[in-house]
Homo-oligomer: A and B are copies of this chain.
Amino acid sequence: MNLSKKVNAPMIAPIKCSQCPIRHRAVCARCDDDELTLLESIKTYRTYAAGDVILWRGEPLEFVASVVQGVATLSKTMEDGRTQMVGLLLPSDFIGRPGRENIEFDVTATVDVTLCCFDRPKFEKLVNETPHIAQRLMELALDELDAARDWMLLLGRKTAREKIATFIEMLARRSSHGQDGNKDIIDLHMTRDQIANYLGLTLETVSRQFSALKKDGVIDFSDRKHFTVEDIAALQEETGDDADGGVVY
């Protein structure tokens, strides 16, 4: 899910890989050549079109995977159709849980997605034999858990305006290129409806809050899916989070 990154998280050195360098960053930062060769030998690629469901809830998990390209969402749906997104997968994020046969949510591609997949039994064997991969996966799970808990605070206690501000700030942090990342044009990736499902709101409320933040000069839209942050300080003020770096995305 990767919403939250500690500032002092250990830096993972990128590792050369002809086809999908990103994968090794996600799965393993310290594999030796033999292990990398093993990973190579059990990997396959899969691609999904925007809107495709990658995995249905309850479906047996045949593979674990790393996102190479695109954006996928994790979501839960109630009987009557209410849905809640419970995670966002960006490149380098990991799908699947060694030791688990099933997942408890749907995974859907919001744009075209490429996955680097590893056969689950073989991957699990590798995990069993390679302690630092198990450790790395635990760290990934703990990162996701931190992110999930930040999101619980958002869902349970934040106002619509704070939710939207938090969401935008997260996107700004993630997509900032330079050190001084404001004024970059940021891609929204999702529809208003999907954002609403992420934030526990309706699409109309999302739209209204975007309009309000634009009117107040905090952000500016170049088109429906692209915007710039005009006043990053004001934006941070609106998130409701502590001013100090308690929550760092």
Question: Given contacts A86-B149, A145-B145, A157-B200, is CB(A128)–CB(B138) below 8 Å?
Answer: no
Closest Cβ neighbor of A245 among chain B residues = B58
Tell whether A209 is near chain B: CB-to-CB under 8 Å: no
Number of interface residues of A (CB under 8 A): 57
Q: CA A91 – CA B165 in complex, angstroms?
A: 38
Hey, which chain B residues are within 8 Å of A183, CB to CB?
none
Q: CA A82 – CA B146 in complex, angstroms?
A: 19
Hey, which chain B residues are within 8 Å of A76, CB to CB?
149-150, 152-153
Say whether B141 contacts A142, CB under 8 Å. Answer: yes
Say whether A8 contacts B84, CB under 8 Å. Answer: no
Tell whether A74 is near chain B: CB-to-CB under 8 Å: yes
CB proximity to B under 8 Å, residues A50-95: 57-58, 74, 76, 78-80, 82-84, 86-87
Say whether B144 contacts A145, CB under 8 Å. Answer: yes
Q: Which of A99-107, A110-118, A172-180 contacts B (4 or more CB under 8 A)?
A: A99-107
Tell whether A123 is near chain B: CB-to-CB under 8 Å: no
Say whether A241 contacts B78, CB under 8 Å. Answer: yes
Say whether B148 contacts A58, CB under 8 Å. Answer: no
Q: CA A154 – CA B102 in complex, angstroms?
A: 21
CB proximity to B under 8 Å, residues A11-65: 57-58
Interface flags, A143-171, vs B, CB<8A=1, else 0: 01110111111011110000000000000
Closest Cβ neighbor of A247 among chain B residues = B104
